[in-house]
Amino acid sequence: MSLILVVEDEHNLRIALERILKDAGYEVVQGESGKEALRLCQKTPFDLVITDLAMPDMDGLELIQSLRRSHLDLPILAISGAFNGEFLRIAKALGAVGTLDKPFTKGDLLAVMNKSLGKRSNPQS
């Protein structure tokens, strides 16, 4: 079973993502900021990080850059509904293996996640 870190500053969305992922059979740990995510990644070997890009304190782009320095092989999925997709393009250039523009469907999320984890997609939308 894959262990996923969800980094999202919006509480309700973080809970919704956790529910979707747990229903799909994943183990989930939540983080509400980039700084918290870095601390969690130092302690726990995650299989995938899903991060929002627009967050206070440390944004998702900074998080991706930091994780690329310390966890070269850790797949990162960037999500954002801001900036007309420009930050998603930057996230990809910085090393995110996948991106999703908000709002997205459960099927979209699971398909991109499974691809990022090297699994065959089988979402149950």
For the chain, domain boundaries: 3-116
pLDDT digits (tens, 9 = 90+) for 59-113: 999 999 999 999 999 999 999 987 778 899 999 999 999 999 999 999 999 999 9
Give the global pTM.
Answer: 0.91
Please name which of 7, 56, 47 lies closest in space to residue 27, comparing C-alpha atoms: 47
> Where does 3-116 sit in CATH, by number?
3.40.50.2300
Going by pLDDT thresholds of 50, 70 and 90, the confidence category of residue 55 is very high
Within 8 A by CB and 6+ apart from 95, the residues are 64, 65, 67, 68, 76
pLDDT digits (tens, 9 = 90+) for 18-51: 999 999 999 999 999 999 999 999 999 999 999 9
In angstroms, the CA 73 to CA 109 distance is 20
In angstroms, the CA 51 to CA 6 distance is 6
Q: Which two tokens stand for residue 25?
A: 């059979």
